[in-house]
Amino acid sequence: MGVENQKKEEDQTKSKGWLWWLIVLVLASMVFAAAVLTLLKNFKHSNPSGPGVPDHPGPIVAEYANALGMAMQFFDIQKSGKLVDDRVWWRGDSGLQDGIGSDGMDLDLSKGMYDAGDLVKFGFPMAFTATILSWAILEYGDQMNSVNQLGYAQDSLKWITDYLINAHPSPNVLFIQVGDPSLDHKCWQRPEAMTEKRPTIQINTTFQGTEVAAETAAAMASASLVFKKINSSYSNLLLIHAQQLFTFADTYRGSYSVSFPQVQEFYNSTGYGDELLWAAAWLYHATRDESYLSYVTEINGQAFANWGSLSWFSWDDKHAGTQVLLSRINFFGGKEMTVTENVDLQMYRKTAEIIMCGLLPDSPTSTSSRTQNGLIWVIEWHSLQHSMASAFLAVLYSDYMLTSQTEMLYCDGKSFKPEDLRKFAMSQVDYVLGQNPMEMSYVVGYGSNFPQYVHHRGSSIPVDAETGCKDGFKWLYSPKPNPNEAIGALVGGPFFNDTYNDVRNNSMQTEPSTYNNALFVALLSGLVTTSSVVQSFS
């Protein structure tokens, strides 16, 4: 029995040993699995985000969220047409007959938006507004959603693209304006009560307008990406229009400022090469068609891109925006590219770096185009357009660097981190929201001290006032503040000496615009919280 007991003990010992190793193996497997899951959580869109960049929106910055909600409302104020679920109590239907009988065609051009404080629909800046809204949604839609603004942004975008679709009745025809500025500016009326004639302007193969057609193509291509997953048929329709318009713009080259000299006083174009690159870049993102990539690199890069030059992003000049938009391909990669395409994309990114270095206040190549208090300032008309545009591009580039784990930006021997670009962008927003020598907000409704005499017809005339074309001017010159607050309107901005004169007839400083508000919305959407950006829009 002793031998048998000894054998049993040995067998039990062996069993316990095997059991112990089995437990160790299981625990090790669990630890390994947990480690793998942790790593996978740090990946987004098949690639890791940079250190410290969350996959999902982080803490909300309350001040920016509040400002973003207000800024988004301004697009409702600017809407033309039959209003649906209107959030602005003092606005009503307007422009319902726009497009009827236009050059023998009965078009529905009732939608769209009035560009600023007047009642004209200018197609060039309106399309730019749509493109910027699309870009903001594509890059920061999750952040907009975290503060309940994504739906409003998509609605405002579609209000414009619905109009643009109707304004493009055939491949080589695009209606680019509704209303005559010279007639409109002789009247001061609410849009709901306007009485002046509403003629239209169209571009075609005889009267070209490459920059407007190309910008409209960019708007539709970028919007097609926004609606791709939520309304595929609408997305496909937008893409068809975008491709047709780009072909039209490129085939029949000519400036709309030459075809229609009367536009030079309002939205004069300084050239169309930048719009062609801008549109082709968006079409590449929308289609992944290599021909569009070749267009912006080996075919037209040398001619149109202004590589190595500092430029200011605006409704007229798309160079800086194109440099940054094409940099994201260099950051995140794409399909197989030729050697030339790779080299040219590097030139776009290098030029984007020059622009970023110019914006950073401590950079050796910092621009002198800023006020004593740090606001980017280029021209006196609507001065905030360039500061908002520059800050938006800076926060985008900062996020491209973070997501791609690019640690440093080198500016003439000095290095900067992504957070330096973000800090610059925040300084521009903070100035606008009240940290300025005037100690006022330049956004109507934000804070306790904001513009009261905004140059805006609908805002300045009481809803129950009965005025005609001429007698409405008494409201322009009224000493009383606007009876209807244009909540969220970003006014033109300060002079170079950081001063602001809140007078309704001072349109240079007190007039808001949809395209500036779009840039402001895009910028706030990038700053309202933090998240890694998507590496592909499609």
Q: Catalytic amino acids? A: 455
Q: Return d(Cα 318, Cα 326) in angstroms, integer.
A: 12
- The continuous run of DSSP H or E covering 129 comes out as helix 123-146
C-alpha torsion sign, points 313, 314, 317, 319:
positive
Helix (H/G/I), strand (E/B), else coil: 380: coil
Which DSSP string corresponds to 510-535? H---HHHHHHHHHHHHHHSS--PPPS
φ, ψ dihedrals at 176, nearest 5°: -110, 0
Q: Return d(Cα 211, Cα 193) in angstroms, integer.
A: 33
φ, ψ dihedrals at 517, nearest 5°: -65, -35
Q: Return d(Cα 113, Cα 162) in angstroms, integer.
A: 11
Other CB atoms within 10 A of residue 77 CB: 27
Other CB atoms within 10 A of residue 104 CB: 5
Q: Return d(Cα 489, Cα 199) in angstroms, integer.
A: 27
- The continuous run of DSSP H or E covering 177 comes out as strand 174-178
Q: Between β-strands 414-416 and 121-122, what pairing exists: parallel, antiparallel or unpaired?
A: unpaired
Helix (H/G/I), strand (E/B), else coil: 136: helix
- Asked if 319 and 348 touch (Cβ cutoff 8 Å), the reply is no
- Asked if 321 and 313 touch (Cβ cutoff 8 Å), the reply is yes
User: Which amino acid, residue 293?
Assistant: L
Burial class, 145, CB count within 10 angstroms (exposed 0-12 / middle 13-18 / buried 19+): middle
Q: Between β-strands 43-44 and 47-48, what pairing exists: parallel, antiparallel or unpaired?
A: antiparallel
Ramachandran quadrant class, 488 (left: phi over 0; alpha: psi -120 to 50; beta: rest): left
Q: Return d(Cα 159, Cα 105) in angstroms, integer.
A: 21
Tallying the residues shown for the chain, one arrives at 538
Q: What are the structure tokens assigned to 184, written together?
A: 């409109």
Q: What is the dihedral of CA 463, 468, 471, 477, to 10 degrees?
A: 40
C-alpha torsion sign, points 269, 514, 381, 313:
negative
